[in-house]
Structure 1
Amino acid sequence: MKTRSEQKKLMSGRTRSLAQDASVEQQSVMTILQTRMVIFSSAWSSGHDSREVERSMEWYMAIVNAVSFLIMGLDKQKARKGKWRIAERTIWLFALAGGAIGAAIGMYGFHHKTRHRLFRYGLLLLAIFDMLIYVILYQ
């Protein structure tokens, strides 16, 4: 049995670890958002004529949305089997990276996380935003 001071040390280490994880997560989100903005701005500043930028953007969006869709399906399968799950932050990171459409389709297609208001409304709004950006960039 651990003494009270050993337990405090253990807890303070966990707290620091959680704070470090949160910091890394914030940095990851910021990096993803910055990358996404660079991709969108390069597509926008190219004057809509650069077929190479458009093609790259289409491939990027297709891959990110396919992965997001598959993540939702895999998480649903793991939930049914009672196995280790995919973290919600991972799903959100892929959605923020441009995969919100695939994640939303996966959410409703697999009936996964539809009871979570944040997913039900937030993911749907993010998917609509992605579609609007795509339409604006590629009219």
Structure 2
Amino acid sequence: MFYVIAFINIINFILFRIDKRKAVKHQRRIPESTLLSFTFLGGTLGALLGMIVFRHKISKRNFLIKFGFIVLIQAAFIYLYGKYS
């Protein structure tokens, strides 16, 4: 399971880099739904690092709200998994 999560985080970090590069070059971007889907699937750390390192999506309030909601869902899942396992 560790390797799967690590792989998803690396992919998500790379996706944030690619999307930032495309944004700077005014090219077609990676959809937010794709970025958020990888985040939801376990790529939260990769997304957070991508946001900080590449200064990408940090001023987009709508994206940050969705990102925060995903983090809350994941935290609740981890809490409930730990409580009932």
Assess same fold via TM > 0.5.
yes
Deviation at 1:122, TM superposition (A): 3.5
How many residue pairs align between the two structures?
Answer: 79
1:69 counterpart = 2:10: no
The residue aligned with 2:44 is 100
TM-score by length of 2: 0.76
Deviation at 1:101, TM superposition (A): 1.6
Secondary structure of 1:82's counterpart equals coil
Larger Rg: 1
Matches within 5 A, 1:7-86: 57-86=1-30
Secondary structure of 1:98's counterpart equals coil
Name the structure with the higher helix share: 1
RMSD (Å) for aligned C-alpha atoms = 2.2
Secondary structure of 1:70's counterpart equals helix
The residue aligned with 1:122 is 66
Give the 3 Å change call, closer, same or farther, for CA 86–102 of structure 1 in structure 2.
Answer: same
CA distance in 1, matches of 2:48, 2:70: 9
Secondary structure of 2:56's counterpart equals coil
Give the 3 Å change call, closer, same or farther, for CA 74–116 of structure 1 in structure 2.
Answer: same
Give the 3 Å change call, closer, same or farther, for CA 128–108 of structure 1 in structure 2.
Answer: farther
Offset from partner CA, 1:35-81 (integer Å, 9 cap, x none): xxxxxxxxxxxxxxxxxxxxxx1001100011111100100001111
User: Quick one: percent identity of the two aligned structures?
Assistant: 33
Q: What are the ranges of 5 or more consecutive residues in structure 2 without an aligned counterpart? A: none
Deviation at 1:118, TM superposition (A): 3.0
Secondary structure of 2:43's counterpart equals helix
TM-score by length of 1: 0.49
CA distance in 2, matches of 1:125, 1:63: 22
